[in-house]
């Protein structure tokens, strides 16, 4: 794990931006350690949603009246913010989606269906979320392609040598998670992209867990696609972005038809709109996309370096304190990882631990975390996962560790 020094952030001031943190759960102050599933939302994001519906609710792009123009401007302003947030070369390379799952399905259908042929290969890793497994299985079955998997070692890391060995002249798509939701492992996606491109394969990055933690520069990574979700980076649920290089997006055929994605429709033939609109069929999730801009701006205002340093300090402290818990077994000890601590406790089922922690006001995630093949690799049903964000504190972790000790004592 990288050495981190906690920055001088005013965490108590930051916590006041998140109204949900003020509540009590089961009579106890809420301690929210389920950030890898979804982060909480700052007031700036919540207010932006209300402001849209109260002030300028209208459909976008096609209307000429004042509300429609204001809504369109706000929607497209979010696209501009995300172009900068991920350093896309052009604003047209940013497509709004329902989230990472939707983005990967879009690639599998709009790119995979057009370009994959029988015998072609798709390469993923053993630590992928189901969202980066199932769409590739589906398109591979349809096209007669072969899905190959890079193994994971005992630390929860992949080997670049293994990646290089598995990429062949038949490999057409390499799709890798930037940061594992189960283990926290940060993968060397820039180096993997070089290996993929050396064999003329396209590189897809699942950025769901990375976007609120890691620096994201799609031009530096040289990935061909980058998918991410708003709700894991302090934004609303049901919205996200897909980045794609212009040249590739223009070659792809849309897999959803309807309004907005067309130039002209007749019963004889339909011509498609320019990017990004040809991949945004129908009325989008306007309010949440507008609010999503405020989530990106919130992250930038604090600074990703500061966020990452604070979270790393929390993670290191958690490892130290949780190591005191009798019978604990950690999963995921990669040198580079985001703020996820995943573990089991001897003779304590993860679900039992989760319910007993909830009684103390502590929210963690228990189960396979939508990574069943990874759990099978480690020979376990699932783990207890604590995942930290910028609004979490050392004191919360101390209470968490002490609570786990109490729980273990009850099972002794």
- What residues are labeled active site? 370
Q: Are strands 328-331 and 383-387 parallel, antiparallel or unpaired?
A: unpaired
Query: Would you call 147 exposed, middle or buried from its count of C-beta atoms within 10 A (0-12, 13-18, 19+)?
Result: middle
Cα 185-190-193 angle, rounded to 5 deg: 110
Phi, psi of 96 (to 5 degrees): -85, 135
**Exposed e or buried b for every residue in 20-40, given b needs 16+ CB within 10 A?**
ebeeeeeeeebbbbbbbbbbb
**How far apart are alpha carbons 62 and 136 in whole angstroms?**
35
Contacts with 159 (C-beta within 8 Å, 6 or more apart), sequence order: 150, 153
What are the distances in angstroms from CA 143 to CA 108, 111, 123, 196, 232?
Answer: 11, 12, 15, 21, 32
Round to the nearest angstrom and report the end-to-end CA distance of the chain: 32
Strand partners, 241: 96, 228
Contacts with 303 (C-beta within 8 Å, 6 or more apart), sequence order: none
**How far apart are alpha carbons 211 and 221 in whole angstroms?**
13
Q: Nearest to residue 183, comparing CAs of 224, 133, 128?
A: 128
Strand partners, 384: 343, 366
**How far apart are alpha carbons 37 and 340 in whole angstroms?**
11
**How far apart are alpha carbons 379 and 73 in whole angstroms?**
51
Asked if 242 and 224 count as a contact pair (C-beta separation under 8 A), the reply is: no
Task: Take residue 240 and report the two structure tokens written for it.
Answer: 């996200």
Give the DSSP letter of residue 345: E
Q: Nearest to residue 57, comparing CAs of 280, 285, 287, 240?
A: 287
């Amino acid at each position: 794990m990288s050495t981190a020094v906690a920055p001088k952030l005013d965490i108590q001031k930051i916590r006041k931006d998140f109204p949900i943190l003020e509540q009590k759960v089961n009579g106890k102050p809420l301690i929210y350690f389920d950030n890898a599933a979804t982060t909480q939302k700052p007031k700036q994001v919540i207010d932006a949603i209300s402001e849209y519906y109260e002030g300028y609710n209208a459909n976008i792009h096609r209307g000429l009246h004042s509300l429609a123009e204001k809504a369109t401007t706000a929607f497209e302003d979010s696209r501009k913010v995300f172009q900068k947030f991920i350093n896309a070369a052009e604003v047209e390379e940013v497509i709004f989606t329902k989230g990472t799952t939707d983005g990967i399905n879009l690639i599998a259908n709009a790119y995979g269906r057009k370009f994959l042929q029988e015998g072609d290969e798709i390469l993923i890793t053993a630590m992928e979320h189901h969202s980066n497994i199932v769409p590739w299985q589906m398109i591979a079955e349809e096209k007669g392609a072969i899905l190959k998997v890079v193994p994971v070692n005992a630390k929860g890391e992949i080997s670049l040598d293994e990646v290089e060995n598995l990429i062949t002249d038949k490999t057409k798509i390499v799709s890798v998670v930037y940061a594992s939701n189960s283990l926290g492992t940060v993968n060397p996606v820039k180096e993997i992209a070089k290996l993929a491109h050396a064999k003329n394969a396209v590189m897809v990055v699942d950025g769901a867990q990375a976007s609120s933690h890691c620096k994201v520069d799609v031009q530096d990574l040289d990935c061909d696609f980058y998918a991410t979700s708003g709700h894991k980076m302090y934004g609303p649920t049901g919205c996200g972005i897909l980045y794609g290089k212009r040249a590739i997006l223009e070659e792809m055929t849309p897999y959803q038809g309807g309004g907005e994605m067309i130039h002209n429709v007749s019963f004889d033939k339909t011509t498609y709109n320019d990017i990004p609109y040809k991949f945004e069929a129908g009325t989008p999730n306007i309010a949440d996309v507008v609010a999503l801009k405020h989530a990106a701006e919130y992250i930038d205002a604090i600074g990703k370096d500061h966020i990452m340093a604070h979270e790393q300090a929390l993670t290191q402290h958690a490892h130290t304190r949780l190591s005191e818990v009798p019978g604990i077994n950690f999963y995921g000890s990669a040198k580079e990882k985001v703020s996820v601590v995943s573990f089991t406790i001897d003779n304590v089922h993860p679900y039992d631990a989760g319910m007993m922690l909830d009684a103390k006001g502590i929210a963690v995630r228990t189960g396979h975390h939508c990574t069943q093949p990874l759990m099978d690799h480690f020979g376990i049903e699932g783990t207890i996962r604590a995942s930290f964000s910028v609004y979490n504190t050392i004191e919360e972790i101390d209470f968490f560790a002490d609570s786990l000790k109490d729980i273990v004592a009850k099972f002794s």
